[in-house]
Amino acid sequence: MGNTKKTEQLDRWILFRYGLIVVALIGLCIAILINMFKIAFVEKSTWQALAERERTKIPDSRINPERGNIYSADGRLMATSFPLYHIYIDFRGDAIDSAAFLQIIVPSKKNKPPTAKDSIKAKINSVDSLAFHLSRKLNRDRQQLREELVRAFRRKDRRFRITDTRITYSDLKEIRNYPFFRLGRNASGMVSETFIERRNPYASLAARTIGNVYATLDTSGYSHGKNGLELQYDSLLRGEAGLKARRRIGGRWMDVPLRKAVRGLDIITTLDLEMQYSVERALRNIMTQTKAYSGSAVVMEVKTGAIKAMANLGQEPSGGYVEKKNYAVSDQIEPGSTFKTASLMVALDDGVCTPDEMVDTGNGIFSYKGRLITDHNRDNGGNSVISLAEAMYRSSNIGVSKVIIRGYEKDPKRFVDGILRLGFGEDLRLEIPGAGHPTIRRPDEKKWTMSDLPSMAYGYVTSIPPIYMLTFYNAIANNGRMMRPIFVREARNDNETVHRFEPEVIKESICTPATLSAIRSMLEGVVEDESGTGRPARSSIVRIAGKTGTALIGENGSYTGNGKQVSFAGYFPAENPEYSCIVVVRRPQVGVASGGGTAGRTVKEIAEAIYTSRAPVDIRKYKSTSPVSTLPPAKPGDMHSLKHVLNKLDVKVQRKDVKSPWVELVSDENGRIMFEDVTISREVVPQVLGMGAKDAVYILESVGLRVKLSGTGRVVSQSIQAGEKIEKGQTITLALKI
């Protein structure tokens, strides 16, 4: 009985305590809800004001996006971005620590004398310390730099530039830790301005086709293309800017990302670097020999219209040649005799003539409607009576003009309509901004005269950009199918294809099969026939077909000057065309200016270089005459890239422990091939001889050197010898050679 009573008392005590706990928790919840309501509604304005005081006065700022890269058709880097900086001091800032800058010792606390710590702080952040570090970094006189800093401070200079040249991000980080600057942007007034430098690891190769970007960023943080593919695909390359805010978190100011920056897409072009090099070399050679004013050369893939190489060179005042303008797509100059192919194609298609019909060219001089028409061999008696095919071989202005006059004198519009039918009236929608368009004079225009008909027949009173003429000849090579020239194959996000640019047919057929067969036979005869003006383009390696052109360059409405444009447009191999090509050379000054001897010879050089580099060779047919294997002529560089290439070539490399990601190939006395470390030290200048431009630039910039490149190929010399002590910010020049 007593135990039962005790148990009941204990139960009541437990329930009482449990009830107290429940009441306390309910009271706590009610208190929390009351305070939440109070903060959210009653004290809302007070807390918002407090939060605003904790927020930085610096507005939200952008995060600059990274611009996408441009690559060749086989994935080699052709353009990439490097951020560079200018550094300024704004001496008008209210928060500038003038005391530290001028080494004035200020007590750390009010009403207390300066301490030794105050003295040291002022000294290490003074103008003397800053001038000392900057003078070493910038190779400037210390005292002179100090005086410039003090003068700028006293006149309250708003934009005193610290560096004359743009510096890298590693330099910027280093300078930010210098005396005075380390106090922060507000206390030091240090401001950095960002510039974007677009670099091509292959120097000037295809520079005008790739284009360039403006160095400065716009107000939204974007870099913009200036010309070429950089401008055409600017919206894809530039990416999307992000946004960040400056917030006080945990007692410190921090950048808080609000929206991430999106990197621009990468562009994969149709350009082939080996072809590009061959084309530029051949064009530069002929222009240097003839001292021409400008020139262009383009190679197109017949089946797809893909531009594999395009070079545009203009003469500098010094006499050298650089890529100045996209002449191949923008120049609108009368083409001359390369247009005869179009004229005869129209006439053959309209049944006006046949390749075998005879035409009397007389002694090389013919007058029609007050205009004198002459052949290039008029001083030797002309061509007399020849077939129309021979008129093409010999590029007879009279022969072609007489056929066109006979067929279209009473209806010149029919002839012009036929020319437009061949594709010269189409918009190629070229991917190079600033491209020109053909200008074909029409009979219904006021300035049309009857003498314009024969003039048009051999390439005058028309303006055809070279890229349009090449597109026409490419259609002939492509069995009459005209393709739109394309420069870009795809756009990628990392390794994922976002958009693929497919080949596009402009016209399924530019003429009848019979006409096409006759024209192709004529173009082969221009090069193969003994009397052909394209005879200098004849090759024993690859058969070339095409047409020469020589045109006087009109000046102030007349052709009395001696300026000429010579050209050759054609394709190869003639029996099964793979590539079409055009070379145009303007105002050659040395030698005899001729479409065959000048431009035709250059096309031959290009065709032979391309054809021989792609001729299939089965190395299994050849046996080694030596028991010792031959070391492949590989450039030192990144081990993984080198290993990948050697695996593709089935070259066996012996295992050897390497500690560096940078290696070179060596062989032992038994001919075994193995990797060997290329040691890179951050204290001394690395050895980069033999490396490619990309690897050499990466290594040298990673140790704090600025790099300038000269030439293409592998590094053959470096201006600062390997092993010398590195001075941060030094410029090293690399000479490259194929």
Domains of the chain: 89-165+178-189 (no CATH), 273-493+500-613 (3.40.710.10), 637-737 (3.30.10.20)
Token pair of 350, please?
Answer: 């309209």
What per-residue confidence (pLDDT) applies to 670?
Answer: 58
**Rounded Cα–Cα distance for residues 120 and 127 (Å):** 14
Please give the DSSP secondary-structure letter assigned to residue 537: G
What residues of the chain score a pLDDT lower than 50?
A: 56, 106, 617, 619, 621-629
Q: Give how far Cα 269 sits from Cα of 18, 78, 207, 232, 606, Å.
A: 78, 9, 13, 12, 20
Q: Which residues of 705-723 are buried (b: 16+ CB within 10 A; e: fewer)?
A: bbbebebbebbeebebeee
Which pLDDT does position 308 carry in this prediction? 96
CB atoms within 10 A of CB 150: 14
Q: Are 681 and 705 in contact (CB under 8 A)?
A: no
> Nearest to residue 415, comparing CAs of 441, 394, 390, 397?
441
What are the beta bridge partners of residue 216? Answer: 195
- The tokens describing 396, both together, are 């007879």
As given in the structure block, the two tokens for residue 535 are: 């005879």
The three-state secondary structure class of 550 is strand
> What is the reported pLDDT for 560?
56
Cβ-Cβ contacts under 8 Å for 411 (sequence gap 6 or more): none
150 neighbors 127 (Cβ within 8 angstroms): yes
What pLDDT, on a 0 to 100 scale, did the predictor assign at position 353? 92
Question: What is the predicted pLDDT for the residue at 94?
Answer: 66
Long-range contacts of 412-415 (CB under 8 A, 24+ apart): 412/443, 412/448, 412/450, 412/452, 412/453, 413/442, 413/443, 413/444, 414/350, 415/343, 415/346, 415/453, 415/456
pLDDT at 503 (0 to 100): 94
What CA–CA distances, in Å, run from 678 to 12, 293, 637, 661? 86, 46, 8, 8
Helix residue spans in 429-529 (DSSP H): 452-457, 466-477, 513-528
Helices (H), 458-512: 466-477
- My answer on whether omega of the bond before 573 falls inside 30° of 0, hence cis, is yes
